[in-house]
Structure 1
């Protein structure tokens, strides 16, 4: 099957890193289904990409199993197959206040979207991915490995996603490979639906990274591209940290 006929489903693909991933795959001749709860951003994405024959948007709340089931079915109906699932959708703000004041409803909503959502997508996509010998990429975070104060709910969901990744890799292998990516600081301001003029980051922002700069969406998209390609055929159950070296940098206050 020619690569131009392969189909990827990207959740949270209407803005931010997800939008960057969708665009990257489209430029490499994949057909892409974007699932996102933000209908306006999804429609804006469709309008901005002159690729109506290779891009589909489906309004989807990944925490709702009925919507997930329907989205996967529509994606397969449109594309005729499913080769890759990119679980990128999530509530991105990591800060939920002091743990003593963290409302159970706020905690639960983070779990529903950031962790249950990828589970539901994998559950309903798995039969189709088995048929195509496809793969899943889960979007975790370096916050699964290190923390700032008042980010318990977000950190827990992203840590859970690492465990879900290797569990799925064992359950779905060898037919389906499953990996995760943990991005660091990725500047996605220009990829937000409401983006206008984006001020440049400071020299300090870039210089603090061992790689010499803040990350870009294409840094993550390129890793996604590699992981869903045949070049990564011997890689499954792994977490790829893409953070410019920050999690390897020893920092002490002086």
Structure 2
């Protein structure tokens, strides 16, 4: 079966060189989108964009740097002349920090700079172009915005802030632009080779009310729906994709 023809819509996905971002990019390309993969990892980003085919294009970008975001968005508009969707996925992946007594301000600022300031900068520079085409923003947050393990203050604060940024943007940019958030739980976002080398245990899967750990495709599917016309009445909302874990009451025996 051949690749779907380009449907005329352009999406920018940040943090798209691997993991959830790459999965979202691949899903959208399969639906006919032109996808711009933005990532700080130029070597890997260029490689995966080439592997994804003609409907993929890579732009190097550190989303925490205002100048790089502005330059990258300008490159996208220069290349394609329009922007229909923005998926803010780039993030510091590690959720843990040193104990609060030892947490350096530089680490706190780094996590918030990428996880929270980055989506703000992207929305700032993309909003005019999204408005012109009744576009959509999807922010990738986390269930850690709602529940925590010890020593995760920076990550939790950044994702909680991203949820607040989501509904603020939905009000500011509506009705032309819809803005929603997807909050994944445990998603096995490792490369296929690593998943084969170290498969998850039965206990890992069984603890989820849905019976399994989540996949990249679970997240990509709901992102694609939120970008579609079928979700045209949905804005300012959070969608939790966690196999039911945030609804499970857990006590130690």
Q: TM-score range by the shorter chain?
A: over 0.9
User: What corresponds to 2:21 in structure 1?
Assistant: 18
Displacement, 1:41? Answer: 1.4
Displacement, 1:43? Answer: 1.9
CA deviations on 1:15-67 (whole Å, 9 max, x unpaired) are 11000000010111100001100112102202322x1x311101100011111
Contact kept? 2:6, 2:34, Cα under 8 Å: no
**Superposition map of 1:59-208 within 5 A:** 59-190=60-191, 195=194, 197-208=196-207
User: What corresponds to 1:236 in structure 2?
Assistant: 235
**Superposition map of 1:3-42 within 5 A:** 4-42=7-45
Contact kept? 1:190, 1:198, Cα under 8 Å: no
Task: Give the whole-Å Cα distance in 1 for the aligned partners of 2:241 and 2:223.
Answer: 11
CA deviations on 1:52-89 (whole Å, 9 max, x unpaired) are x3111011000111110111111122222111000000
TM-score (norm 2): 0.95
> Structure 1 169/250 Cα, relative in aligned 2: closer, same or farther at 3 Å?
same
Alignment partner of 1:5: what SS?
coil
CA deviations on 1:160-209 (whole Å, 9 max, x unpaired) are 00000000000000000000000000001126xx8584422111111110
Contact kept? 2:137, 2:178, Cα under 8 Å: yes
User: What corresponds to 1:217 in structure 2?
Assistant: 216
Task: Give the whole-Å Cα distance in 2 for the aligned partners of 1:242 and 1:57.
Answer: 27
Q: What's the Cα RMSD here?
A: 1.4
Gaps of 5+ in 1: none
Task: Give the whole-Å Cα distance in 2 for the aligned partners of 1:209 and 1:196.
Answer: 19
Q: Which runs of 4+ in 1 moved over 4 A?
A: 194-197
Task: Give the whole-Å Cα distance in 2 for the aligned partners of 1:156 and 1:246.
Answer: 20
Task: Give the whole-Å Cα distance in 1 for the aligned partners of 2:231 and 2:197.
Answer: 35
Contact kept? 1:142, 1:247, Cα under 8 Å: yes
Between 132-141 and 2-11, report the one with greater CA deviation: 2-11
User: What corresponds to 2:47 in structure 1?
Assistant: 44
Aligned length: 249
Contact kept? 1:189, 1:198, Cα under 8 Å: no
Alignment partner of 1:81: what SS?
coil
Task: Give the whole-Å Cα distance in 1 for the aligned partners of 2:31 and 2:160.
Answer: 31
